[in-house]
Chains A and B, each alone.
Chain A
Amino acid sequence: MKQAESERYEPGSDADFERLYRNTYRRIVGTLIPLVRDVSTAEDCAQETYERAYRGWAKWRPDAPVEAWLHRIAINVAISDRRYQRLRQAGEVIRRLGRPTPGTDPAVVAERSVVVQAMKKLPPKQAAALVLRHYHGYTNREIAAALDVPEQTVASRLAAARRHLQAVLGK
């Protein structure tokens, strides 16, 4: 998760924040998709993530990994979104009823994936650990730094997440 020279950012700089957005948006959305209900919600949460990040952009310290900081914000946004998920269920039903026939849209593929659907049922912190470990390829130490938790906590979250997935997927 070390930053390259070309990915150095100056806190408070609008141009640098825009560059940060372009460089990290896809990875942040990739993290969020298994954590929230659907792709559109993941994209909304990503935008919310960058809004929160922008408010704290002037206070961000360049010595901290910027992507770890973004991931921490994104996971907190996903957790907040899940808290309000029940309130949105009525709107969800209406939205699904109005949806056109699915094609090869990658968003539809993502929402049809059994694994992704199983991950959505996990606690968001466990699902986040799985994504950071098995999609982004971060080590447990890097995940611990990103989430600001002990490395042992990451290991126990990953173990619990795998057990849940095994139970859900019948493996």
Chain B
Amino acid sequence: MSDLERELEQELHRVLDAMAARPIPPRRAIPARVGFRALLGGTGTALAVKVLTGVAVAAAAVTVAGAATTGSLNPAVWGQAVSEQVIKCKQEVANSGQHGIGDCVSPFASQHGATVSSATRQHGNDNTNGNGSSNGSGNANSHSKDKIKEHTPPPKTSSTFPPTFDREPVDQVNPHRLVTISPQP
């Protein structure tokens, strides 16, 4: 062993043995992140998110499709209401001697269609996955579309007064008199 090696060993023992005499600190706690990572990461999670999103979209689509076909968010109720209205209209037509029940059924269909349309539009707005744009338009008025052609369009509810076209005041050339202001004493 050379002098350098001997000196090296002595110095290392002098320095590091003193360090070794110090108390051993408690071991640092190790965060348990493996399970958390398994829950939140990986392809399985991505697949699960996609499946859940698909299920949510499919459920919304089925609901809106039902509303568009039957005209009601509750098809049973809507179908029953139409049937009752048709029977009622037939009785009225028979009593009054008119032809066809279109005039009688149409307002009911329009009123109900408007209600359903706003409901489906609201449903579409609540949808946060970006598919809401095509949900609200629906076929709410389609139940009475053929009949409505024979009638005057319903009045717009947004404006109750017809627009006015009042002329705006036009400045004439040199309309003002020149005013001279004399300094007050």
Contacts and interface: CB of A to CB of B under 8 A. Distances in A.
A27 to B, nearest CB: 8
A50 B11 contact: no
24 contacts: A21-B24, A21-B27, A26-B19, A26-B24, A34-B12, A39-B19, A47-B27, A47-B28, A51-B30, A54-B30, A106-B18, A106-B21, A106-B22, A107-B19, A109-B15, A110-B16, A114-B11, A115-B7, A116-B12, A116-B15, A131-B12, A134-B12, A135-B13, A162-B4
A22 B24 contact: yes
Contacts of A130: 8
The main secondary structure of chain B at its interface with chain A is helix
Contacts of A165: 4, 8
B25 interface: yes
B150 interface: no
Interface of B: 2-5, 7-9, 11-16, 18-22, 24-25, 27-28, 30
Interface string A32-68: 0110000100010001001100110000000000000
B11 A116 contact: yes
A120 B170 CA distance: 91
A148 interface: no
